[in-house]
Amino acid sequence: MKEFWVDIRPWRKEAATAALESGATALMVDSPAMAKALGRIKTIGADGDLVPGRDVFMCEIAGTEDQERAIECAREGYVVVRTKDWTVIPLENLVSRSSRVISAVKTAADAKMALGVLEQGTAGVFLESSDPAVIREVGAVVHHSLGTTPLVSFTVTTVTQLGLGDRVCVDTCTMMGEGEGMLIGNTSSAFLLVHAETLENPYVAPRPFRVNGGAVHAYILCPGGKTSYLSELKAGDGVLTIRADGSQDEAYVGRVKIERRPLLLVEAEGENGPVSLVLQNAETIRLVRDDRTAVSVVSLSPGDRVLGAVTEGGRHFGFAVRERIVER
C-alpha cells in the first residue's frame, strides 16, 4: 500500500477529517492528541509516532549532491523530497535506488506523476495542502495507484469433476463490479481470474464483496507481488482485486469461510504454459472470458478462452525466490 501523508499545520479539523476519510496513513501535526481524537492514525511530529530527523527526513533536491544526501537519509528512514524546478528525473534517480522515497506534492496531478515514476512509483506522497477537496482528490489517486497486472488468455483443455473438498470464500470490505475478481491458481506461476459473486442468480442473491476462490491449497495474488494460500487468509489481510482490463486495487479481508463442497478441476493452456485451479462445482462460480464477460464453471468446455496471469514461479513464505521449484 502506498503511503499517503498529509500536512495538517496549522491544525484544521475539517482537513484532518477529510484526510482520515480519504485513507491517509499519517498526518503531520503540531498536536498528535488532536489528530488521534478523531481516529486511529499515525502522526508525524516532535511528539508523534514518526519523528522528523529520526524516522522522517525532509530534503530539497536542487542537484546531484542533494540526491546523494537523500539516499543517505533513506537508509535511516523515510525521506520526503521536494524539487525546486519540478522534474521527473530526480525522482527517477531516487526511486531506482531506494524504496523509502516520499514525494512532496500539492495537487492530484503531482501525485499521479510521482506514483507512476519508473512504473513502480515513489513509496507514497506527502500532501502540502489542507484544502479538503484537494485532500480527497489526492487520496483517490493514491488508492488507485496500484498499477496493473497484465492479463493473458488461456484456452481451456479439460474440466474434471472431483469429489468433496474444502473450499474458501474470501469476503472483503469492498463491493466489486462486473468483470472484477481475484487471481487464483494451483501454482504460484499461473493464475485464473475468478469472478466476484456480482451477478443475479435465481437461487442465490449476489454477494459483490465475495470471491469463491477455490480449494484451500490455492495461491491468491496479493499486493506487492506476494502470494498467500487461500487457507491462510484472515480478517484484515490485503488482497488484490483485478478488473478484466488488468487494473487493480487493494481490498481488505473481512471474513474467510472454509466449507466442504463438491469440487472440479479446470485446466488450460496459454502461450507461456499451463494453468489450473480447483474450484467449487456450482453455477455461481465464474471465470472471466477473454471478451471480459463472466462464464460459470459448470458451462466451461474445452476450447473456451479465459483470462488469467503468469508470474515468476517459486515462492518462499509468499515471496518469489530464484531457485529450482517444480509445481504440477
Q: Are residues 300 and 164 in the same domain?
A: yes
77, 58 Cβ separation under 8 angstroms? no
Q: 136: Cβ–Cβ under 8 A, 6 or more apart, which residues?
A: 18, 21, 22
In a domain, 327, yes or no: no
Domain-ending residue, one of 120, 142, 164: 142
In a domain, 313, yes or no: yes
Q: Which domain holds residue 115?
A: 3-142
pLDDT score for 327: 67
Q: Are residues 87 and 129 in the same domain?
A: yes
Domain-ending residue, one of 142, 172, 205: 142
Q: Are residues 138 and 157 in the same domain?
A: no
What's the chain's average pLDDT? 90
For residues 90 and 197, the model is more confident at 197
Tens digits of residue pLDDT in 71-101: 999 999 999 998 876 567 888 888 889 889 9
Per-residue pLDDT, averaged over 142-156, amounts to 85
In a domain, 328, yes or no: no
Residue type, 295: V
Q: Are residues 137 and 183 in the same domain?
A: no
Per-residue pLDDT, averaged over 68-72, amounts to 92
Q: Are residues 137 and 199 in the same domain?
A: no
Per-residue pLDDT, averaged over 131-159, amounts to 89
With cut-offs at 50, 70 and 90, classify the pLDDT of residue 325.
Answer: low
Residue with cell 506523476: 113
Per-residue pLDDT, averaged over 272-284, amounts to 95
Residue among 122, 167, 128 at smallest CA distance from 147: 122
**Could you give the 3-state DSSP secondary structure of residue 18?**
helix
Lowest mean pLDDT among 6-15, 81-90, 185-194, 207-216: 81-90
For residues 49 and 247, the model is more confident at 49
Per-residue pLDDT, averaged over 43-51, amounts to 95
In a domain, 147, yes or no: no
292, 179 Cβ separation under 8 angstroms? yes
% of the chain residues with pLDDT over 90: 73
Per-residue pLDDT, averaged over 224-252, amounts to 92
Per the structure, how many domains does the chain have? 2
User: Which CATH number covers residue 121?
Assistant: 3.20.20.70
Q: Are residues 111 and 176 in the same domain?
A: no
With cut-offs at 50, 70 and 90, classify the pLDDT of residue 317.
Answer: very low
Q: Are residues 121 and 212 in the same domain?
A: no
The rounded radius of gyration (Å) of the Cα atoms in the chain is: 22
For residues 328 and 199, the model is more confident at 199
Please tell me the pTM assigned to this model: 0.69
Domain-ending residue, one of 112, 142, 172: 142
Lowest mean pLDDT among 18-32, 89-103, 191-205, 312-326: 312-326
In a domain, 271, yes or no: yes
Q: Are residues 165 and 286 in the same domain?
A: yes
Q: Given a cut of 80, is residue 319 above it in pLDDT?
A: no
pLDDT score for 136: 95
pLDDT score for 118: 78
Q: Are residues 24 and 110 in the same domain?
A: yes
Q: What are 195-201's contacts with CB under 8 Å, separation 24+? A: 195/286, 195/287, 195/288, 195/294, 196/241, 197/284, 199/284, 199/286, 199/294, 201/283, 201/284
Neighbours of 291 (CB within 10 A): 10
**Could you give the 3-state DSSP secondary structure of residue 303?**
coil
Q: Are residues 170 and 104 in the same domain?
A: no
Q: Are residues 95 and 194 in the same domain?
A: no
pLDDT score for 230: 97
With cut-offs at 50, 70 and 90, classify the pLDDT of residue 40.
Answer: very high
Residue among 108, 171, 189, 176 at smallest CA distance from 145: 108
User: Which CATH number covers residue 182?
Assistant: 2.170.16
Give CA–CA dist 213/101, Å, rounded: 35
pLDDT score for 145: 61
pLDDT score for 16: 96
Tens digits of residue pLDDT in 255-265: 999 999 999 99
Q: Given a cut of 80, is residue 328 above it in pLDDT?
A: no
Helices (H), the chain: 13-21, 32-36, 64-74, 88-95, 108-114, 132-142
Q: Are residues 8 and 131 in the same domain?
A: yes
In a domain, 326, yes or no: no
Q: Given a cut of 80, is residue 1 above it in pLDDT?
A: no
Q: Given a cut of 70, is residue 17 above it in pLDDT?
A: yes
pLDDT score for 148: 78
